[in-house]
Amino acid sequence: MAGLPRRYALRNDDGMIHLPGPFWMIGCGNMAGAMLEGWLAAGLDPDRVTVIRPSGTPAPGGVRTLTALPADETPAIAMLGVKPQKLDDVAPSLAPALAPETILVSILAGVETASLRARFAAPRTIVRAMPNTPVALRKGATGLFSDSAHPAAREAVGALMTALGHAEWVEDEDLLHVVGALCGSGPAFVFRFIDAIAAAGAALGLPPEQAARLALATVDGAGSLAGSSPETPHELAVRVTSPGGMTAKGLDILDDDAALADLVRRTLEAAVDRSREMGAAARR
Ligand X SMILES: NC(=O)C1=CN([C@@H]2O[C@H](COP(=O)(O)OP(=O)(O)OC[C@H]3O[C@@H](n4cnc5c(N)ncnc54)[C@H](OP(=O)(O)O)[C@@H]3O)[C@@H](O)[C@H]2O)C=CC1
Residues lying near ligand A1CAB in the complex (CB under 6 A): 109, 180, 184-185
Residue 28 is labelled as binding a ligand = yes
Dihedral of the alpha carbons of 253, 255, 257, 258, in degrees to the nearest 10:
140
Diameter of the chain measured on Cα atoms: 71
Specify the residue, 31 or 97, whose C-beta has the smaller distance to ligand A1CAB: 31
Determine the length of the chain.
Answer: 284
Residue 30 is labelled as binding a ligand = yes
Specify the residue, 10 or 178, whose C-beta has the smaller distance to ligand A1CAB: 178
Q: Which does 211 bind (CB under 5 to 8 A by kind): ligand X, ligand A1CAB, none?
A: none
Residue 183 is labelled as binding a ligand = no
Q: Which of 261-267's residues contact partners 24+ apart within 8 Å by CB, and which partners?
A: 264/189, 267/181, 267/189
Q: Which of 3, 14, 15, 55 binds ligand X (CB under 6 A)?
A: 55
Quickly list H helices, the chain.
Answer: 30-41, 87-94, 113-119, 151-162, 175-179, 186-203, 208-228, 233-240, 246-255, 259-283
Specify the residue, 184 or 279, whose C-beta has the smaller distance to ligand A1CAB: 184
Do 47 and 18 contact (CB within 8 A), yes or no? no
d(CA 20, CA 45): 11
Q: 3 burial class (0-12, 13-18, 19+ CB within 10 angstroms)?
A: exposed
Do 10 and 20 contact (CB within 8 A), yes or no? yes
Specify the residue, 50 or 185, whose C-beta has the smaller distance to ligand A1CAB: 185
Specify the residue, 156 or 182, whose C-beta has the smaller distance to ligand A1CAB: 182
Minimum distance from CB of 44 to ligand A1CAB (Å)?
A: 23
Q: Which does 57 bind (CB under 5 to 8 A by kind): ligand A1CAB, ligand X, none?
A: ligand X
Q: Which of 52, 127, 136, 179 binds ligand X (CB under 6 A)?
A: 52
Q: Which does 89 bind (CB under 5 to 8 A by kind): ligand A1CAB, ligand X, none?
A: ligand X
Residue 31 is labelled as binding a ligand = yes
For residue 145, give the nearest of 106, 98, 90 by alpha carbon: 106
Q: Which of 6, 13, 14, 30 binds ligand X (CB under 6 A)?
A: 30
Residue 184 is labelled as binding a ligand = no
25: amino acid identity, one letter: M
Q: Which does 176 bind (CB under 5 to 8 A by kind): ligand A1CAB, ligand X, none?
A: none
Per CB under 6 A, contacts with ligand X among 82-141 are 82-84, 86, 89-90, 107-109, 130-133
Q: Does residue 53 bind ligand X (CB under 6 A)?
A: yes
For residue 25, give the nearest of 57, 1, 10 by alpha carbon: 57
Q: Does residue 28 bind ligand X (CB under 6 A)?
A: yes
Q: Is the dihedral of CA 71, 73, 74, 75 positive or negative?
A: negative
Residues in binding site for NADP(+) = 26-31
Binding site for ligand X (CB under 6 A): 26-32, 52-55, 57, 81-84, 86, 89-90, 107-109, 130-133, 184
Query: Which residues sit in the known binding site?
Result: 26-31
